[in-house]
């Protein structure tokens, strides 16, 4: 998702929104949180003491001659969790196999709890292939049920596109947001043909390519805030129900029943600045992230706030948010160029790790701009983090009981 500059905290009644057109962040706050050790003892759970050990496995960067603007705004694993797609300012969708990002020797060492040597790769060699796009990308999402073949995108020109990765060609295009930036796209899990997009025009639109003309028919459209505050994130519930959640620049998160979009089912109020991300943790819980530097967990049955998580730095940019549902871990970036991991049971981070700095001009204040967990049911996990400097880094965590 693209860099965003909220020069002032938007107000629900007359929000004034200012977006930067590049990812590089200026006038970054000098308040830097200390790095917590990546191997950190957690709290007691009965007689068990749990601990996570995270290691940096791989760093993927561009050559010294690469374009400066190569920020990674979106990272997504395919449904098989063996292929990774990235997109951002460089106007490229890059496709990687997990095997290229996680060398087999590193995997074996990490699963045995042994130290590994970090692998340093170049995007050109690590990438299986790439597709050039007509605009800067803010969001990517794989379409469920397509066997990892179809990938949707939202871009800075306000267009939603869908790419056939076997043919390496766009097969669907929708331009219904009046040229205003599309911040987020997602697909329904109960009907994978139905998609949704959230935009700077203040609307969330649901569409079905099987209906209407070439760009599909808009089957629902909502404007959550009367002031047309930007819809920064959309996500359908992946648990088989009919919910879709939105994060909005009016400081609110919303949940709608897609069968009745007249008014929101839930309005979640608690953030003091823009809500940049919403993610479903489980069938009863949702997490939201804001430029107030907070993650908030919500009980969806009664809209109750479960807890507020603090530790990362986020005052003006999209820094990424991802949930590893099997392990109950939340990952997010930070404007001090660190990756933070929270356990959904506690309000403080269990670990944080600074991204390896790359010696590239113009990135004195690089920050983490996207994160993504691999959704596997194991006692080790994989977290990918992308930076505003275009560097992709792979962390592997091992659970020690």
* CATH assignment of the domain containing 340: 2.130.10.10
> For residue 194, is it within any domain?
yes
> For residue 9, is it within any domain?
no
> For residue 205, is it within any domain?
yes
Number of domains in the chain: 1
Containing structural domain, residue 282: 57-399
> For residue 246, is it within any domain?
yes
Q: How far is CA 367 from the centre of its chain?
A: 14
Only one residue has tokens 């990687």, namely: 96
> For residue 48, is it within any domain?
no
> For residue 24, is it within any domain?
no
Q: Can you give the pTM of this predicted structure?
A: 0.85
Q: Are 389 and 363 in contact (CB under 8 A)?
A: yes
> For residue 36, is it within any domain?
no
Cα separation, 344 vs 287, in Å, equals: 9
Q: How many CB atoms lie within 10 A of CB 129?
A: 10
pLDDT (tens place) for every residue of the chain, 401 residues total: 544 444 333 444 333 333 332 333 233 233 333 334 444 434 434 444 457 889 899 999 987 555 456 899 999 999 999 999 999 999 999 999 999 998 765 555 555 555 668 899 999 999 999 999 999 999 999 999 999 999 999 999 999 999 999 999 999 999 999 999 999 999 999 888 899 999 999 999 999 988 877 767 899 999 999 999 999 999 999 998 899 999 999 999 999 999 999 999 999 999 999 999 999 999 999 999 999 999 999 999 999 999 999 999 999 999 999 999 999 999 999 999 999 999 999 999 999 998 766 555 555 678 999 999 999 988 889 999 999 999 999 999 988 76
Among 180, 148, 373, 152, CA closest to 279:
373
Only one residue has tokens 């496709």, namely: 95
> For residue 349, is it within any domain?
yes
400 beta partners: 51
């Amino acid at each position: 998702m693209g860099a965003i500059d909220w020069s002032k905290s938007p107000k629900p009644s007359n929000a004034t929104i200012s977006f930067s057109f590049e990812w590089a962040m200026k006038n970054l706050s000098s308040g830097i949180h200390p790095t917590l050790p990546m191997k950190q003892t957690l709290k007691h759970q009965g007689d068990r003491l749990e601990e996570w050990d995270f290691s940096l496995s791989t760093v993927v960067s561009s050559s010294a001659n690469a374009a400066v603007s190569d920020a990674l705004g979106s990272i997504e694993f395919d449904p098989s969790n063996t292929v990774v797609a990235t997109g951002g300012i460089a106007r490229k969708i890059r496709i990687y196999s997990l095997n290229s990002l996680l060398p087999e020797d590193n995997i074996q060492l990490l699963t045995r709890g042994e130290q590994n040597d970090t692998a340093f790769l170049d995007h050109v060699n690590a990438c299986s292939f790439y597709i050039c796009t007509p605009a800067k990308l803010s969001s990517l999402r794989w379409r469920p049920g397509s066997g990892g073949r179809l990938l949707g995108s939202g871009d800075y020109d306000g267009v939603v596109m869908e790419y056939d990765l076997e043919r390496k060609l766009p097969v669907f295009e929708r331009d219904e947001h009046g040229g205003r930036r599309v911040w987020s796209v997602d697909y329904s899990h109960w009907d994978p043909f139905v998609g949704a997009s959230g935009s700077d025009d203040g609307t969330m639109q649901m569409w079905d390519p099987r209906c209407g003309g070439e760009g599909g028919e808009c089957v629902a459209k909502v404007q959550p805030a009367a002031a047309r505050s930007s819809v920064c994130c959309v996500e359908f519930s992946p648990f088989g129900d009919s919910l879709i959640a939105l994060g909005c620049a009016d400081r609110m998160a919303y949940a709608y029943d897609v069968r009745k979009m007249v008014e929101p089912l839930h309005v979640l109020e608690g953030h003091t600045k823009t809500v940049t991300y919403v993610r479903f943790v489980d069938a009863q819980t949702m997490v939201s992230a804001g430029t107030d530097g907070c993650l908030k967990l919500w009980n969806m049955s009664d809209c109750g706030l479960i807890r507020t998580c603090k530790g990362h730095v986020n005052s003006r940019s999209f820094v990424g948010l991802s949930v590893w549902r099997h392990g109950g871990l939340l990952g997010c970036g930070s404007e001090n160029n660190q990756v933070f991991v929270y356990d959904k049971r506690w309000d403080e981070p269990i670990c944080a790790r600074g991204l390896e700095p790359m010696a590239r001009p113009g990135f004195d204040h690089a920050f983490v701009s996207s994160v993504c967990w691999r959704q596997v049911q194991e006692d080790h996990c994989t977290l990918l983090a992308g930076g505003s400097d275009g560097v992709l880094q792979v962390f592997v965590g091992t659970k020690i009981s």
